[in-house]
C-alpha cells in the first residue's frame, strides 16, 4: 500500500463489511486474505470464507455526506463519543459504493452514464427442474419488467420473481431506478450526454429517464413486447412507458397504484336537462330580483370587477412564462440546498422505518430482514443528495406541461390492465384503485383481503395466483382476436 493509508473491504456472500480486525495476513491487493477477529469472537478466530479484496479509497472518502468534522487530534475522542447514531439505525460514517452492497445474484449495466442495479430470473434456464410439468402447464411466453415504488428497490420483488417467472415461462427483470436501491448516485454536474446526437443529457432522476430505462430493459431482454408490473409510484413509470411506446407493452399490472384517479362524470341528455333546469331557475331568480336595487348594484359591481380582473389576467398571461421560469429556478435552488439535504435525512430517520411498518396490514410480518432490506440503500454514498435530486426532478418537471394531464389520458390505454390493491392500504386507499379501474377501459380490479400497501410481499401466493389468472385470460383473448383477424 506504500505510505498511503486506505481501507480495504472484504466481500463474500455472507458478510458485507469486515472492519476492526486485529490481524491481516498475506495481504496483496486482489488476492485472497485471512482475517483474524478481535478477542470477543475468540482468540485468533479465522474467517470461514476466503474473501476477495477490493480497494475502497481512503478513509476520508468514506465519510458521510453530512458536515465535515474538524481535523484536530484533540477533538478526536470527543467526536467519537458524540458520533451520531445514524439514519434509521444505519451508521453514516462509513458509506460505500453500491457495488460493495450487492447480493450474489445482483447485476449491473450502464445506461446513459448510470450503473443500473438489476436482477434477472430466467424460468427457461430452470426448465430442466420441471420438464415433466412443462408440457402440461400453459405459459405466457412474454418477459416481465418489475418497477418498484418510492423508497423501495429490487428487494421488494425478491419473493415473487421466481413464481412470476414460472407463470410466464420467460425472464423476469427488476431494476433500481436512480436514487433508489443500489443503482449509482449520479452527480448531475458531471453527468454528460451519451453522445448519440440527442438534444442534451436527460436528468437521470427524472420520469423521462425512468421511462427510457424501462424501454431499454425490453431491448435488454431481446423482446418486442413485455409485461410491465408497477407498484405504487412505479405504476406512473409503467403508464408513461405505455404512452411513450404502446407497441412495446403487452399488458400492465398496477399494484397499489399511486395514480390519482378522476371521479367519473356522467354526461349526456341527463346533463343537458340539468343545464336547462339550472337556466330556468336562473331566469326565474332574475325576474324575482328585478325590483331589488341592492341586488342590481351588486351585479353591476360584480361585472365591473370581472372586467378589471380579465384585463389584469391579459397582462399576467404575458408574464406567466417568465414567472414560471423564475419560480422553478428558485424552487430548484431551494430543493438542492444543504437545508433540503438535512431535511431529507431528518425525515428518513424519523419516519423511514415507521413508513415500512405502516405499509403492511400485519406489522408482525415486518421482520428485521425486511427492515434491513429497505434501509440497506442508506449505506450508499450520496443517497441523501440523490433523493433530493429525485424530489427536485419530480417537482420541477416541465416535460408534462405540453401534454394533457395523466387523468385525462387514461381512456387511451388499450392493452390489458390488471389493478391489484389491498383492502387495508393506508398509503394509497383502495377506493382510489376502484376509481382508476373505472377510468381505464376494460381493466380488471382485484382487492386482496387483510392486506396493506404491499400485496406482492404480504400476500405472495394470492398475488401470484391473481396475476396468473389475469395473464392466462388476457392471452386467450389476444389469441382469439388474432385468429379472427387471420380468418
Judge whether residue 283 has pLDDT over 60: no
Q: Kindly indicate the confidence band of residue 131, based on its pLDDT and cuts at 50, 70 and 90.
A: low
pLDDT digit string, tens, across residues 430-470: 999 999 999 999 999 999 999 999 999 999 999 999 999 99
Sheet containing 171-175: which strands, arranged edge to edge? 107-111, 114-122, 171-175, 144-147, 226-231, 249-255, 417-422, 444-448
Residue corresponding to grid cell 392466462: 472
Nearest to 168, CA basis, from 477, 468, 470: 468
Q: What is the pLDDT of residue 465?
A: 97
Q: What is the pLDDT of residue 47?
A: 41
Q: What is the pLDDT of residue 397?
A: 75
**How far, in Å, CA of 152 to CA of 144, rounded?**
18
Q: What is the pLDDT of residue 282?
A: 41
Q: What is the pLDDT of residue 379?
A: 96
**How far, in Å, CA of 152 to CA of 276, rounded?**
52
Which H/E stretch holds residue 312? helix 293-317
Judge whether residue 484 has pLDDT over 70: no
Mean pLDDT (the chain) is: 74
Name residues whose C-beta falls within 8 Å of residue 247's C-beta, 6 or more positions apart in sequence: 225
Higher pLDDT pick, 449 / 136: 449
Q: SS3 for 220?
A: helix
pLDDT digit string, tens, across residues 157-203: 999 999 999 999 999 999 999 999 999 999 875 554 444 444 568 89
Higher pLDDT pick, 262 / 52: 262
- Dmax of the chain from CA atoms? 104
Q: What is the pTM of this model?
A: 0.69
Lowest-confidence region among 6-10, 200-204, 250-254, 304-308: 6-10
Beta bridge partners of 53: 10
Judge whether residue 71 has pLDDT over 80: no
**DSSP class of residue 380?**
B
Judge whether residue 486 has pLDDT over 60: no
Q: Which grid coordinates are listed for 373? A: 432490506
Domain 87-129+137-189+201-260+367-485 sits in CATH at 3.40.50.1820
Judge whether residue 12 has pLDDT over 60: no
β-strand pairing of 171-175 with 444-448: unpaired
Judge whether residue 60 has pLDDT over 50: no
Q: What is the pLDDT of residue 140?
A: 80
**How far, in Å, CA of 226 to CA of 365, rounded?**
32
Higher pLDDT pick, 175 / 13: 175
Instruction: Count CB atoms within 10 A of the CB of residue 293.
Output: 7
Nearest to 118, CA basis, from 186, 176, 179, 180: 176
- Percent of residues in the chain assigned helix, strand, coil, to nearest 5: 50, 15, 40
| % of the chain with per-residue pLDDT over 90 | 49
Angle between helices 338-358 and 320-335 (to 10 degrees): 80
β-strand pairing of 444-448 with 107-111: unpaired
β-strand pairing of 226-231 with 249-255: parallel
Indicate the domain borders of the chain: 87-129+137-189+201-260+367-485
Q: SS3 for 190?
A: coil
Judge whether residue 18 has pLDDT over 50: no
Nearest to 420, CA basis, from 464, 382, 380: 464
Q: What average pLDDT does range 50-71 have in this prediction?
A: 37
Q: Measuring CA to CA, how many Å separate 240 from each of 96, 160, 235, 249?
A: 33, 24, 8, 11
Amino acid at each position: 500500500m506504500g505510505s498511503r493509508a486506505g481501507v480495504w473491504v472484504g466481500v463474500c456472500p455472507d458478510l458485507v463489511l469486515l472492519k476492526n480486525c486485529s490481524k491481516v495476513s498475506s495481504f496483496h491487493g486482489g488476492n485472497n486474505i485471512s482475517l483474524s477477529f478481535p478477542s470477543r469472537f475468540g482468540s485468533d478466530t479465522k474467517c470461514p470464507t476466503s474473501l476477495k479484496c477490493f480497494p475502497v479509497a481512503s478513509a476520508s472518502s468514506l465519510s458521510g455526506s453530512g458536515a465535515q468534522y474538524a481535523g484536530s487530534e484533540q477533538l478526536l475522542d470527543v467526536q467519537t463519543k458524540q458520533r451520531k447514531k445514524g439514519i434509521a439505525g444505519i451508521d453514516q460514517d462509513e458509506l460505500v459504493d453500491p457495488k460493495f452492497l450487492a447480493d450474489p445474484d445482483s447485476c449491473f449495466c450502464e445506461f446513459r452514464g448510470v450503473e443500473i442495479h438489476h436482477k434477472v430470473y430466467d424460468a427457461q434456464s430452470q426448465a430442466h427442474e420441471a420438464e415433466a410439468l412443462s408440457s402440461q402447464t400453459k405459459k405466457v411466453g412474454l418477459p416481465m419488467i418489475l418497477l418498484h415504488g418510492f423508497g423501495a428497490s429490487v428487494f421488494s420483488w425478491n419473493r415473487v420473481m421466481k413464481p412470476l417467472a414460472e407463470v410466464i415461462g420467460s425472464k423476469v427483470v427488476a431494476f433500481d431506478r436512480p436514487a433508489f436501491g443500489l443503482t449509482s448516485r449520479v452527480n448531475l454536474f458531471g453527468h454528460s450526454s451519451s453522445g448519440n446526437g440527442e438534444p442534451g443529457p436527460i436528468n437521470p432522476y427524472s420520469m423521462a429517464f425512468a421511462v427510457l430505462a424501462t424501454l431499454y430493459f425490453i431491448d435488454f431482454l431481446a423482446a418486442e413486447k413485455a409485461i410491465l408490473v408497477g407498484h405504487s409510484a412505479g405504476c406512473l413509470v409503467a403508464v408513461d412507458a405505455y404512452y411513450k411506446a404502446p407497441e412495446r407493452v403487452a399488458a400492465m399490472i398496477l399494484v397499489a397504484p399511486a395514480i390519482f384517479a378522476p371521479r367519473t362524470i356522467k354526461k349526456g341528455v341527463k346533463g343537458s336537462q340539468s343545464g336547462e333546469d339550472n337556466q330556468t331557475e336562473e331566469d326565474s331568480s332574475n325576474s324575482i330580483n328585478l325590483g331589488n336595487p341592492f341586488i342590481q348594484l351588486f351585479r353591476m359591481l360584480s361585472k365591473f370587477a370581472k372586467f378589471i380582473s380579465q384585463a389584469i389576467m391579459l397582462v399576467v398571461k404575458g408574464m406567466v412564462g417568465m414567472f414560471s421560469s423564475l419560480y422553478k429556478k428558485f424552487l430548484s435552488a431551494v430543493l438542492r440546498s444543504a437545508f433540503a439535504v438535512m431535511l431529507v435525512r431528518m425525515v428518513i430517520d424519523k419516519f423511514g422505518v415507521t413508513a415500512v411498518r405502516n405499509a403492511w396490514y400485519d406489522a408482525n410480518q415486518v421482520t428485521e430482514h425486511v427492515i434491513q432490506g429497505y434501509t440497506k440503500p442508506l449505506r450508499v454514498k450520496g443517497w441523501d443528495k440523490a433523493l433530493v435530486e429525485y424530489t427536485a426532478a419530480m417537482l420541477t418537471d416541465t416535460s408534462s406541461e405540453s401534454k394533457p394531464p395523466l387523468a385525462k389520458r387514461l381512456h387511451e390505454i388499450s392493452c390489458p390492465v390488471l389493478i391489484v390493491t389491498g383492502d387495508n392500504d393506508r398509503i394509497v386507499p383502495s377506493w382510489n384503485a376502484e376509481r382508476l379501474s373505472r377510468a381505464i377501459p376494460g381493466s380488471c380490479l382485484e382487492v386482496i383481503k387483510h392486506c396493506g400497501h404491499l400485496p406482492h410481499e404480504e400476500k405472495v401466493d394470492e398475488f401470484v395466483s391473481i396475476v396468473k389468472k389475469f395473464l392466462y385470460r388476457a392471452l386467450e383473448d389476444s389469441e382469439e382476436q388474432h385468429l379472427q383477424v387471420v380468418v
